Amino acid sequence: MSKRPKLIASDLDGTIVSHKGVISQRTIDAFTQARDLGVHVFFVTGRPPRWMGEIREAFGFGGAICCNGAMLYDLINDVVLEEWMISIDDQLEVVRRMRTAMPEMSFAVESNDHYHREIAYVPKWDVGMDNVGVEKIEDAIKRPALKILGRCSNHEFTSDQMVEVAHRECHDLVTVTHSTSRDSLIEISALNISKGATLELMAQRLGLTADDCVSFGDNPNDFSMLEWATRSYAMADGHPNAASHAKSVAEACEADGVAKIIEQLLDLPA
């Protein structure tokens, strides 16, 4: 491809947000230059909107696809635009199947305005969102959710192993992925909902194709958008399988890998 991209889609954590939570000035400058040249920018993340304040403050522009593709979010105005939810019945069925297949797993459910967990589910991030918990998540499943989270708090299984089991048991009901190999945690979305699927929808609405877009990511929840975009970059220090889903590899986040690629792409003719 010898043309400048018309849309840049990037994961956040481990891609442009370092493992210490830092976004470099070089990264901010690269995305700002892209915006100034008329390139559409989408931050495509597993994060819910309540974790997007630092992204809004750092950049001050851009669209956002949150919760692994389950939500279109107006980053600047802090408004949820569209959601693709898991029904109550499907949540209950997923939990039923997974309790049978992997009894070690505990659960949480989240949406934009609620988060509930089992007492056995030890939260790493949203500690203050639900300090009490319920014995069984079924007691808290009262409405559609953006995500079901499954955790093995004693780290009996890796995230990859958990995804493999959940996909085998629930592939007809939901989409299963993960965003961290270090945390024994899987993330479950509605069937056929993924970062790649929602990114493709956004591109279509803008009159763009995969050839017009470039994507960046580091973990399995990014694989769908790395596969979809004609130009895509896996982070060099990301999941060991990431490179097989992308067209190219970028240097690590801490080395400003995404910014370096964007700088090169912006030098191409429009």
Residue with tokens 């896996």: 234
pLDDT at 103 over 80: yes
User: What does the pLDDT look like over 105-143, one tens digit per residue?
Assistant: 999 999 988 899 999 998 877 656 777 899 999 999 999
Tell me, yes or no, whether 105 and 235 share the same domain: no
Please report whether residue 1 resides in a domain: no
CB 9 within 8 A of CB 42: yes
User: Which domain range does residue 208 map to?
Assistant: 7-83+194-266
* Pair of tokens at residue 68: 């692994």
- CATH number of the CATH domain containing 122: 3.30.1240.10
- DSSP assignment of 222-233, as one string? GHHHHHHSSEEE
27 CB-contact burial (10 Å; exposed 0-12 / middle 13-18 / buried 19+): buried
How many domains does one find in the chain? 2
Q: What would the mean pLDDT of 91-112 be, rounded to a whole number? A: 96
Tell me, yes or no, whether 72 and 120 share the same domain: no
User: What does the pLDDT look like over 22-31, one tens digit per residue?
Assistant: 999 999 999 9
Tell me, yes or no, whether 168 and 112 share the same domain: yes
With a pLDDT cut of 90, the percent of the chain lying above it is 91
Tell me, yes or no, whether 105 and 179 share the same domain: yes
Domain termination site, one of 167, 190, 213 = 190
DSSP state of 90: H
pLDDT at 181 over 90: no
User: What does the pLDDT look like over 211-261, one tens digit per residue?
Assistant: 999 999 999 999 999 999 999 999 999 999 999 999 999 999 999 999 999
The pLDDT of residue 127 is 59
The pLDDT of residue 128 is 64
The pLDDT of residue 123 is 85
Q: How many CB atoms lie within 10 A of CB 139?
A: 10
What value, to the nearest 5°, has the Cα angle with vertex 222 and ends 46 and 252?
100
User: Closest by alpha carbon to 136, among 154, 162, 157, 109?
Assistant: 109
Tell me, yes or no, whether 67 and 198 share the same domain: yes
Tell me, yes or no, whether 137 and 97 share the same domain: yes
Tell me, yes or no, whether 208 and 158 share the same domain: no
The pLDDT of residue 126 is 65
Domain termination site, one of 170, 190, 210 = 190
DSSP state of 196: H
Tell me, yes or no, whether 208 and 255 share the same domain: yes
User: What does the pLDDT look like over 27-71, one tens digit per residue?
Assistant: 999 999 999 999 999 999 999 999 999 999 999 999 999 999 999
Q: Is 256 left (phi over 0), alpha (psi -120 to 50) or beta?
A: left
Please report whether residue 136 resides in a domain: yes
Q: What would the mean pLDDT of 205-215 be, rounded to a whole number? A: 98
Amino acid at 92: L
Domain termination site, one of 163, 190, 217 = 190
Tell me, yes or no, whether 76 and 116 share the same domain: no
The pLDDT of residue 117 is 94
Please report whether residue 2 resides in a domain: no
Tell me, yes or no, whether 139 and 229 share the same domain: no
Give the range among 92-96, 131-135, 184-188, 212-216 with minimum mean pLDDT: 131-135
CB 215 within 8 A of CB 12: no
Q: Are strands 213-217 and 7-10 parallel, antiparallel or unpaired?
A: parallel
Tell me, yes or no, whether 140 and 211 share the same domain: no
* Confidence band for 182, pLDDT divided at 50, 70 and 90: confident
Please give the distance of CA 157 from its chain centroid, rounded to a whole number.
21
Q: How many CB atoms lie within 10 A of CB 108?
A: 23
* Confidence band for 1, pLDDT divided at 50, 70 and 90: low
